[in-house]
Chain A
């Protein structure tokens, strides 16, 4: 059992490592892909060679970044099988489909047209080349769509039914999976945040070049596109962040409570704008949740439900099954202890169904099947040893959420100013504080990356211990592997990915330095 716990932890660590490295590169591919496509469109329409040089400058950086995103992506797909084999069977009927569609519809589009994009300048017509650049960007976004549909389904399993004959979940509605509110929100929120990162990257790189007085006109051209894409990205990311919060409140209330460090909820619940959690606080004691907090009245109720007086449950409320309607009447939701009891009952029914089916007792099997369906939503709770096991890591979720929101707010202001200065460069160029502004642009690049990674940490850590919300905890999803085996591969990948990251950053810096000294028009 101890080895199982360690194997689960190392498998989680390995997946987190791969996902975080992967996500360092993917958002730049998504954001920069759109920016390059817009730049080439301007070149195609104007036939202005300066726009061609600008397009090729950013395309070089895109290529370096793209390769390592591909490298880390393949590991993620196969790790579902290697490290989470039980998961692969239990929900492969649903989860595999988006991955396959991603391969058929998106990856081939990306991989075919990116070759034309890089090597086809003198081999295909300008129109075909432009189409290839757009199709590469669209392919990348389509790829993101399907993988986010798959991820959203893990957060909010819908469009499926448990089949006790095969001991797995099976899809019943493709569109319920593909168009679930979680999936739609997640796609727009994630892809638009990538536009933000792409925009911030362009602004930051231009800021570095302007600090050195290199290719000012190229930078002005790039800044206009980068700032527009970044500004549109961050504004729409904020809007979709709001709708995401409503969806989380509805489908994953425990995650929302962890994001806010909220243990006991109330009507008209305030939101903690900034705070320090009390490390001694647990769901089973009466310690104060915060050592320090600055709260905004009604904030969380508005964020979660758009109703300032609504009740927002805290961690202890959710465990106890307490919730209230807007009139203050208690609603009897199901406590976690009860969920565990019903989950165990469902598992017994599945075992009985198996016996009945093998004995060809069709009537009994049908009757049991109905009983299983009625309470299957508690299936995963049977694996929990105690209700508190279903509480995610509150400090990590809380701090990364607040970091993300704070930096997100900063990015709105920064990118709006960057857009203004892109069109009115005289407001900044030649001013005493110009250098400070450009340095801010450079610093904003890593900040945006951290903000983006924080978003994923909130999404993934906040739903622990579930691999599939309410249906399968991590300890059941994992493969039959020793902790030592996974440790070895974890460290191999840690070393390899870090070495590749060093090379990636070094090449990008060198390319920026080298190409910025060329005449870019």
Chain B
């Protein structure tokens, strides 16, 4: 049993890492949302070309995040995806329209014109981070669902997870969830500016992106503070040793205090993000802000996942029936599957290594207008 617990914790850690990397990679979406601020076509092409070499990594991280959740915590996959149907469908829709836009926007014969595809990129750029933020917020603030596994034996009504009639629309209408979504969006936009400043060798682009950062970074900080305040003051579901679930006030604050190391990492992550943002804004010649801010983002999101799932916490509280809440114990795959998947996860560092190697090889020389003009893709 102890091995099983360790494996469940390990896979929650893997999910935390994937989730943190996904949030970092959302700078692609943030960048897309700012394309229309660059009216000069050459400038806009620079931005698109710069993002066009990274968007598939974001997309792949999202797909892997979903696949890994399915494999390690299938009850979440079953409950949240089938329940918050409209929320997830809107997220999917926004990513579908992104996938083709990079490839089609500048191609002759694309039927609908370049601005149509740029509009699709804008929709994904804003809705992608916002709605993913709303989905994650639901894990903190809860959702109206029940889970009754024994329903599978009811031949007339076998659905084990039931949800309210709005099927996720109510999550989009919640102001707390929207604050979370806005925080993720403004973080993505801020990271995008830092990425462009680092990746593109063009003064006009850098100047404009620095101006964008002046707008987006304070908004991110404001929403971040609101979200942190909400999380630390909200109730959470705690599960005792017998598996009984009950609501506890300030659950996530208690979790940070109980897991003091997570609190230290959170503060370190916040410090790194602020360092990356502030130094880029203060020192015009500084172009490496994406790295401390990116690393800080990963650290902050890691701790959010940890307080969400560890310390006997339900990572998906049910507002209708606390006992239906999902924990990493009652929603995970079997010990055998987690073990098999853990063997596969040994390859993850290798995957990270070749991604880093290729990223470095491709970005060794910064993107210029000349390169974009010569590029036939």
A: residues with CB less than 8 A from B are 1, 4, 56, 60, 63-64, 66-68, 70-75, 77-78, 80-86, 88-90, 92-97, 99-105, 107-116, 118-120, 123-124, 128, 132, 163, 166-168, 170-172, 174, 347, 350-351, 354, 382-383, 475-476, 478-481, 485, 489, 492, 496, 499-500, 502-504, 506-507, 509-511, 514
Check if A75 sits within 8 Å of B81, measured CB to CB.
Answer: no
Are the C-beta atoms of A119 and B334 separated by less than 8 Å? no
Closest to B89 in A: A489
Chain A at the B interface: SS class: helix
Given contacts A81-B80, A167-B150, A170-B334, 10 further A-B contacts (CB under 8 A): A82-B92, A90-B152, A102-B67, A105-B344, A107-B63, A110-B56, A171-B333, A481-B85, A492-B93, A514-B108
A92-B74, A96-B70 as given contacts; A506 in contact with B111, CB under 8 Å = yes
Could you tell me if B152 and A111 are in contact, using CB atoms closer than 8 angstroms?
A: no
Please give the residue numbers on chain B whose beta carbons come within 8 Å of chain A beta carbons, in ascending order. Answer: 52-54, 56-57, 59-60, 62-68, 70-72, 74-75, 77-83, 85-86, 88-89, 92-93, 95-100, 102-104, 107-112, 149-150, 152-153, 155-163, 167, 333-334, 336-337, 340-341, 344-345, 347-348, 351, 354-355, 358, 361-362, 364-365, 375-377
Determine if B104 and A103 form an interchain contact, defined as CB atoms under 8 angstroms apart.
no
Candidate in A95, A107, A383, A480 with the most chain B CB atoms within 10 angstroms: A480
Q: Name which of A64, A84, A503 has the most chain B CB atoms within 10 A of its CB.
A: A503
Report the separation of the CA atoms of residues A90 and B60 in the bound assembly, to the nearest whole angstrom: 26
The smallest beta-carbon distance between A490 and chain B, in angstroms, is 11
Alpha-carbon separation in the docked complex, A479 to B65 (Å): 21
**Contact in complex: A124, B361 (CB < 8 Å):** yes
Q: Are B100 and A500 in contact (CB under 8 A)?
A: yes
Residue pairs across A and B with Cβ atoms less than 8 A apart, 16 shown, are A67-B102, A67-B104, A81-B66, A83-B82, A85-B77, A85-B78, A86-B161, A89-B74, A104-B344, A107-B64, A111-B60, A115-B56, A115-B57, A119-B362, A123-B362, A167-B152
Q: Smallest Cβ distance from A518 to chain B, in angstroms?
A: 10
Tell me the nearest residue of chain B to A59, going by C-beta: B377
The answer to whether B104 and A503 have CB atoms under 8 Å apart is: yes
> Is there contact, CB below 8 Å, between A123 and B361?
yes
Which residues from A are CB-within-8-Å of B163?
A: 480
By a CB distance below 8 angstroms, the chain B residues around A123 are 361-362, 364-365
Q: Is B377 a contact of A63 with CB atoms below 8 Å? A: yes
A502 to B111, CA, bound (A): 8
B103/A63 in contact, CB under 8 A: yes
Select which of A70, A168, A509 is within 8 A of B109 by beta carbon. A509
Contact residues in B for A72 (Cβ distance below 8 Å):
96
In-complex Cβ contact of A99 among B56, B67, B80, B102 (8 A): B67
User: What are the residues of chain A within 8 A of B59 when measuring CB–CB?
Assistant: 70, 74, 111
A contact residues around B68 at 8 Å (CB): 100, 103-104
Q: Decide: B96 and A510 in contact? CB cutoff 8 A.
A: no
Q: Is B155 a contact partner of A383 (Cβ separation < 8 A)? A: yes
User: CB-CB < 8 A to B375: which residues of A?
Assistant: 119
Shortest Cβ-Cβ A-B pairs, 3 listed: A92-B74, A85-B82, A81-B81
Contact A77 B150 (CB under 8 A): no
Residue contact B99 to A71, C-beta cutoff 8 Å: yes
Specify which chain A residues have a CB less than 8 angstroms from the CB of B56 in the assembled complex.
70, 110-112, 114-115
Query: Are A81 and B77 within 8 A (Cβ)?
Result: yes
A128 to B354, CA, bound (A): 12
Q: How far is the CA of A67 from the CA of B351 in the complex (A)?
A: 22
- Complex CA gap A163/B152 in Å reads 13
A104 to B66: give the CA distance in the assembly, Å: 11
Whether A119 contacts B377 by the Cβ 8 Å rule is yes
Most B-side CB within 10 Å, residue of A104, A478, A506: A104
Assuming the contacts A89-B78, A480-B161, asked whether A507 and B340 have C-beta atoms less than 8 A apart, the reply is no
- Residues of B close to A351: CB separation below 8 A: 150, 153
Q: Is the CB of A116 within 8 A of B361?
A: yes
Distance (Å) between the CB of B165 and the closest chain A CB? 8
In whole angstroms, how far apart are the Cα atoms of A113 and B362 in the complex?
A: 11
Our pick among A66, A81, A496 for the contact of B93 (Cβ within 8 Å) is A496
CB-nearest residue of chain B to A89: B78
Q: How far is the CA of A259 from the CA of B104 in the complex (A)?
A: 40
CB within 8 Å for A81 and B88 given contacts A88-B82, A92-B78: yes
Indicate if the CB atoms of B60 and A103 lie closer than 8 Å: yes
Q: In the docked arrangement, what's the CA distance between A94 and B85, Å?
A: 23
- Which of A78, A107, A350: most chain B Cβ within 10 A? A78
A492 and B92 CA atoms in complex are apart in Å by 12
Q: Say whether B344 contacts A476, CB under 8 Å.
A: no
- Closest B residue, CB atoms, query A502: B111
Interchain CA distance A100-B162 in the complex, whole Å: 26
Using Cβ atoms and an 8 Å threshold, which residues of chain B touch A118? 377
B334 touches A506 (CB 8 A): no
A96 touches B100 (CB 8 A): no
A-side contacts of B96, CB under 8 Å:
71-72, 74-75, 496
Given contacts A74-B99, A123-B364, contact A100 B85 (CB under 8 A): no
Are A67 and B77 interface neighbours, CB within 8 A? no
**How many whole Å from A519's CB to the nearest CB in chain B?**
14
CA gap between A500 and B75 in the complex, in Å:
33
CB of B191, distance to nearest CB on chain A (Å)? 19
Q: Are A108 and B149 in contact (CB under 8 A)?
A: no
Contacts of B160 in A (CB 8 A): 85-86, 89, 167
CB distance from B25 to the nearest CB of A (A): 11
Is the Cβ of A506 less than 8 Å from the Cβ of B109?
Answer: yes
A481 to chain B, nearest CB (A): 6
Given contacts A81-B88, A96-B70, contact A116 B362 (CB under 8 A): yes
How far, in whole Å, are A472 and B157 apart by their CA atoms in the complex? 14
Instruction: Tell me whether A86 and B152 are in contact (CB under 8 A).
Output: yes
Query: In the assembly, what is the distance between CA of A168 and CA of B361, in Å?
Result: 46
Contact A163 B103 (CB under 8 A): no
A75 contacts B92, C-beta separation under 8 Å: yes
**A510–B111 CA distance with the chains assembled, in angstroms:** 11
The chain A residue sitting closest to B374, CB to CB, is A122
- In the bound assembly, the distance between CA atoms of A320 and B357 in angstroms comes to 62
- CB pair B361–A108 under 8 Å, yes or no, is no
Cβ–Cβ < 8 Å partners of A506 in chain B: 109-111
Q: From A66, which residue of chain B is reached at the shortest CB distance?
A: B103
Asked whether B156 lies within 8 Å of A1 as measured between CB atoms, the reply is: yes
| Bound Cα distance A171, B78 (Å) | 18
Are A96 and B67 in contact, with the CB atoms below 8 A?
Answer: yes
Assess whether B62 is in contact with A74, with CB atoms less than 8 Å apart. Answer: yes
Do A68 and B99 form a contact, CB below 8 Å, given A89-B149, A111-B56?
yes
